[in-house]
Amino acid sequence: MQPTVLICLPFAGAGASFFDSWKSRLPEGLRVAAAQLAGREERFVEEPSTDVARAVDDIFPWVVEQVASAEQVALFGHSMGAVLAYELAHRLDDVAGVSLGKVFVSGSPGPWSARTSRATGLDDDGFLAQVQRFAGYSHPALEHPEMRGLLLPTLRADVEMHENYRPGSDKPLSVPITTLRGRDDELVSAEQIAQWGAATTGGFSGVEFDGGHMYLSDAADDLLRHIAVELGAS
Query: In terms of pLDDT, which residue wins out, 156 or 37?
Result: 37
Length of the chain: 234
13: left (phi over 0), alpha (psi -120 to 50) or beta: left
Predicted pLDDT of residue 68: 86
Give catalytic residues, as residue numbers. 79
- The structural domain count of the chain equals 1
Assess whether pLDDT exceeds 90 at residue 187.
Answer: no
142 pLDDT higher than 80 = no
Higher per-residue confidence, 224 vs 128: 224
For residues 149-161, give the mean pLDDT. 83
Query: Given a cut of 80, is residue 56 above it in pLDDT?
Result: yes
pLDDT at position 146 is 67
What single-letter amino acid sits at 147? M
DSSP 202: S
Res 79: pLDDT: 92
pLDDT at site 9: 98
Q: What percent of the chain has pLDDT over 70?
A: 90
Sheet (strand 4-9) strand order: 30-34, 4-9, 73-78, 100-106, 177-182, 204-209
In angstroms, the CA 18 to CA 139 distance is 12
DSSP class of residue 164 equals: T
Q: Which domain holds residue 111?
A: 4-230
Q: What is the mean pLDDT of residues 100-120?
A: 85
Per-residue confidence (pLDDT) for residue 95, from 0 to 100: 86
Q: What is the pLDDT of residue 50?
A: 93
We report the CATH number of the domain holding residue 136 as: 3.40.50.1820
pLDDT of residue 135: 62
Please, where are the H alpha helices in 13-141?
Answer: 52-67, 80-92, 124-135
Q: What is the pLDDT of residue 149?
A: 66
The Cα–Cα gap between 54 and 140 comes to 29
